Every structure is written in C-alpha cells, then in structure tokens.
Amino acid sequence: MKKVILAVMVIAFALFIALPNLSWAQEDLYKAKCAGCHGADGKGTPAGKKMGAPEFSSPVVQKASDADLADFIENGGPQKKAMHAFANKGVSPADAAKLAVYVKTLK
C-alpha cells in the first residue's frame, strides 16, 4: 500500500514539474504567464496598465502580425523589453506563436 501511495506521489510530482513545459492549451498558458499583467480578458490589470500594457483590443495589437507579436512575447520585441523575454521563461517558439493568435481573440 505504501508503495502505491509513494508511486502516486512521484507521478504527481513529476507532472507538477513537467506541466509548465508541456504544450497545454494556450488559454492555460496565458492565464499562468500573462494574465497577471494583461488580465484574463486582455484588458490589462491595474499593475499591467501602470507598466503600459496595451489592451489587446487596441489597434497596436490587432494590426500587428502574428510573427511580430510572437517576437514580442518571446523576446520583448525590437526593444527587448525584459518583462516579456518569455523565451527564457519556459515559453517555446511554438507556444509564443499560439499565444500571439490567442491574444488577438481577447477583444
């Protein structure tokens, strides 16, 4: 019995470690990594707005290409803004591409 419990715990722990690296629905990824500044609805949290985060319904975002948005998410855009640079924080290029599409739906 103890072995079963131990096994379950090991699996649960392994999943806990693996989760952020798996390609989950971009919505979950968004909630985990982006909503803190941009809000679940893409309108921006007070903290995010203070830093200058745009609403995703704004033309800046709606008119940007998916590639540009993905670069912004991964590398902080042309100015390499540190609060993004998600390439170093567990967001793969494929995830960034999905997120770029996803944020445009938040309007």
Which residue ranges make up the site for ligand HEC (CB under 6 A)?
33-34, 36-38, 48, 51-54, 60-61, 64, 69, 72-73, 81, 83-84, 86, 91, 99, 103
Q: Which is nearer to ligand HEC, 9 or 62 (CB)?
A: 62
Q: Which is nearer to ligand HEC, 3 or 65 (CB)?
A: 65
Closest CA to 48 of 13, 93, 83: 83
| Cβ neighbourhood burial of 20 (10 Å; 0-12, 13-18, 19+) | middle
Q: Which is nearer to ligand HEC, 13 or 62 (CB)?
A: 62
* Phi, psi for residue 21 in degrees, rounded to 5: -95, -10
